[in-house]
A and B are shown apart, each in its own frame.
Chain A
Amino acid sequence: NAGVTQTPKFQVLKTGQSMTLQCAQDMNHNSMYWYRQDPGMGLRLIYYSASEGTTDKGEVPNGYNVSRLNKREFSLRLESAAPSQTSVYFCASSPNAGALLGEQYFGPGTRLTVT
């Protein structure tokens, strides 16, 4: 049981390049989330998927797109990277239904630098 896995762990992009961050969970959770973590700002929600087949914007969605490929996988795409997107990105999942609302399980993060 690997929990929540993210790839890659580190990435350096040039301004304007695109990339997709991958996330998968093996806990049969309904909900999945993408956050970014910046110094002094905590975690900010980018997008979330309450259940398979649905996605919704969070607090800071501009410059990002997501795909809930199936119940296990939730990817985050940067179409044209900007230096302001330099951050640590965390994927999380939550069982939600019948469980403690707000109990989320986090992946180890992807450290992204855009030059």
Chain B
Amino acid sequence: GEDVEQSLFLSVREGDSSVINCTYTDSSSTYLYWYKQEPGAGLQLLTYIFSNMDMKQDQRLTVLLNKKDKHLSLRIADTQTGDSAIYFCAESGTDSWGKLQFGAGTQVVVTP
């Protein structure tokens, strides 16, 4: 089956930029997603990128996609304590009826 891999932990100082990386294997993925999970809560869609795009910017968030290397990254500018959460990378194929394949999640801890 498809695999989505992420590093498990990232520590960043408040005000710095965070970069969370993800690699995936399914070359038919139409969209790639970043979901955020705050403590004790379910996941929320943070942003997404269509597979024919290289970059997408949304306020403090920048998503970069290298389709050749199957590498996705999420950059959070000016990281705040409220950004402390688990971030999941996910992919969907073209025929998956909206099913997603999630990575294991990256725990981001923001320190003052």
Contact = CB atoms under 8 A, between A and B. Distances in A.
Interface of A: 4, 31, 33, 40-45, 48, 50, 58-59, 90, 92, 94, 96, 100-104, 106-109
Contacts of B100: 43, 45, 102, 104
A63 B100 CA distance: 21
Contacts of A94: 98
Nearest to A109: B42
Looking at chain B's contact residues, is the secondary structure mostly helix, strand, loop, or mixed? loop
B44 A48 contact: no
Interface of B: 1, 4, 8, 30-31, 33, 40-45, 48, 88, 90, 92, 96-100, 102-105
A42 B97 contact: no
22 contacts: A4-B42, A31-B98, A33-B99, A41-B104, A42-B88, A42-B102, A42-B103, A42-B104, A58-B99, A90-B42, A94-B98, A100-B31, A101-B31, A101-B92, A101-B96, A102-B98, A102-B100, A103-B48, A104-B45, A104-B98, A104-B100, A106-B44
